[in-house]
Structure 1
Amino acid sequence: MATTLAVKSQVDVRPGARRRRALRDGLLYSSPLLLGILIFWLGPMVYALFLTSQDWNLITSPRFVGFDNIRQAAHDADLWKSLGVTAYYTFVGVPLQLVVALSLALMLNQKIRGLALYRLMFYLPSITPIVASAVVFSQLFNTEFGVLNHVLGWFGIGPVNWLFDTKWAVPALILMSLWFVGPQMIIFLAGLQGVPQSLVEAATIDGANAWQRFRSITVPMISPTILFNMVVGIIGSFQVFAQALIMTNGGPEGATRFLVLYIYQNGFQYFNMGYAATLSWLLFFIVVALTLLQFLVSRRWVYYEGAL
């Protein structure tokens, strides 16, 4: 019996058996994630691709319409307006978010008393539920008794009709987005702490001032971090939905009808799920194209330590 067990244990520890056991255990432990991806991500994507050729009102059975949804998108003025609104929010809001997040990270990278408390205070707003934040900012932007207009009144400005003026509705939501720069700030802070102090000290000895050290040392060293935050920020900006739905419902006059909100309206308010699925795939291709473009352009300005 002992001999049999010894032989069996020798067989079990062969490289092939170990690899099979490792593969089995890996698949077993990752199966919840894999099933989640298949059921809640790939499954809906494939079904949405099927719906792009269908006319479906969520009640009757889908009806094949070929490329009608694509032709409708090409001539949909509301779609192009929502794309313009989303692009405006993205290409103005994301750079502003990066500047604010990096500025906060630079301040919180100093050696001062109570630093951990300050970092916590600036990060906490980002974990506030989006619905609660939207309700609070709706009051802050209120034309009659909003705090923001009250402060502007001290300088003889306003009142500004933030959420009900086509010129100010998107800027108001961009200002609100600065409330959620905590994660970007933390990532920038991690990047700043990875900047070699020897380079900073050498530049200081050579007579470089603070701006020159920041421009010539800090920015190149954290350029991968800037790229990461920019990619994630642009992807997130193309998915703006809850705040626009709660605060303006796409108004005034469609000024805050972002692309995701327009997809939601087509699918669950106008009951045109086939067209909504088509728009969702359009959003997917736009995000992928912008992400690839950023990685291609990043070769010109992102510095990776150790790379030629």
Structure 2
Amino acid sequence: MEVFKLKKLSRNRQEEIEAYLYTIPWIIGFIAFIIGPMILSLYYSFTEFNIVNPPVWVGLKNYANLFKNPMFHQSLKVTFYYAGLALPLTLIIGFSLAVLLNQDIMGQKIWRTIYFFPSVIAGVAVALVWLRLFDPNIGLINKILGFFGINGPKWLLDPDWAIPSFVMMSLWGVGRSMIIYLASLQSIPTSLYEAAEIDGANVIQRFFNITIPMMTPVIFYNLILGLISTFQLFTEVYVVTGTGGINKAGSLGGPARSTMVYNLYLYLTAFRYFDMGTASAMAWLLFIFILVITVILFKTSKYWVFYQGQLGNQENKKNGK
């Protein structure tokens, strides 16, 4: 029996060693391409570094200068404006589409595919498609508006319409959140709806008292992902307002700096002005901001996010069980 235990222990040990060997490539890549650059960027954020010359330690100077920089304030303003529009719309429209496509309708699977398919297309391709659609002269959107006698705006050429145009562009990928909502909707036990219907609850009451509470974990999940995504907007703005024969809006961040989002200004600081110290400071400020907001959301989630077990416990308390 003791020999058997020794053999068993040695086999478990062997499996542990094999597991570590399989994970070593990932660990090396994680350290080399994620942890390493993060540590270096944190160091560079406290230095004056232009790539050509060695970094010089300047302490908190980069962070202090950023808050005195009008362009930094502009990038924050534009990013918050975009996030304030795009994030709620993405959550609401994605949820609404999921509820509609969860109904027993003709061609249900086809409609689901149609709404999800655009979300798999890459960011550059999406930007080019919408660049054509938003063209004030030959764009399809203004053509349709003109058919109904409406003079369409200049979209990306108008500072007042530039960010709303990118918000519309972001809704192109709403199918990602829709699929997640749809999967969660289908996991809600039908017995809950049947019991509520027997008790006399109408459709609206069942929606607000069963569907939404049961969906709050997924809403919370999509909220976190959407928050990170909206504050990292870059590709579409760079492609649409950049140069190289496809520029329709003037210059990077144009027109009139109305699309100078945070990540675009970070890119310009790093790779046009070669101020890697300031760019690293911007990257860490963005990281800290998203981290703080995420922590706040997690802390406050206990007041509005309900899980199935918690709902059952609350119902038992109400019934005095």
TM-score bin (small chain): over 0.9
Q: CA deviation at 1:12?
A: 2.7
| Residue 269 (1) aligns with residue 264 (2) | no
Query: TM-score by structure 1 length?
Result: 0.92
What CA RMSD, in Å, does the superposition of the two structures yield over aligned residues? 1.8
Q: CA deviation at 1:182?
A: 1.5
Structure 2 partner of 1:211: 204
> For each residue in 1:158-192, what CA deviation from the matched residue of structure 2 results, as whole angstroms up to 9, or x when unmatched?
22011021111110000010100121111101110
Query: Compared with structure 1, are the counterparts of its residues 265 and 198 closer, same or farther at alpha carbon in structure 2 (3 Å cutoff)?
Result: same
Residues 188-267 of structure 1: pairs in structure 2 closer than 5 A: 188-248=181-241, 249-267=252-270
Q: Deviation of residue 33 (structure 1)?
A: 2.2
**Aligned pairs (5 A) from 1:98-177:** 98-177=91-170
Amino acid at match of 2:284: W
1:280 aligns with 2:275: no
| Alignment deviations for residues 88-116 of structure 1 (CA, whole Å, 9 cap, x no partner) | 11122111001111111112212334332
Deviation string 1:251-278 (CA, Å, 9 cap, x unpaired) is: 1121111111111000001110110000
Measure the CA separation in 1 of the matches of 2:84 and 2:164: 12
CA distance in 1, matches of 2:13, 2:82: 50
2:297 to 287, 294, 297: 294
C-alpha deviation, 1:209, in angstroms: 2.4
**Quick one: percent identity of the two aligned structures?**
40
Aligned-partner SS, 1:157: coil
Q: Report the CA distance shift for 1:299/1:10 in structure 2 as closer, same or farther (over 3 A).
A: closer
**Counterpart amino acid of residue 258 in structure 1:** V
Task: Give ranges in structure 2 of 5+ residues lacking alignment.
Answer: 242-251, 314-321
* 2:56 partner amino acid: R
The aligned amino acid for 2:7 is D
Q: Within 1, Cα distance between the matches of 2:112 and 2:273?
A: 45
User: Corresponding residue for 1:60?
Assistant: 53
Cα deviation digits, residues 201-238 of structure 1 (max 9, x gap): 22223332222211111000010000000100000111
Deviation at 1:117, TM superposition (A): 2.4
Structure 1: runs of 5+ lacking an equivalent:
1-5
Question: Which TM-score applies when normalising by structure 2?
Answer: 0.89
**SS of residue matched to 2:269:** helix
Q: What displacement does 1:157 show? A: 2.6
1:81 lines up with 2:84 in the alignment = no
Structure-2 separation of matches of 1:298 and 1:89: 24
Segments of 4+ moved more than 4 angstroms: 6-10
Give the structure 2 partner of residue 13 of structure 1.
Answer: 8
**Separation in 2 of the partners of 1:109 and 1:136?**
29
What is residue 178 of structure 1 aligned with on the other side?
Answer: 171
1:71 to 64, 67, 71: 64
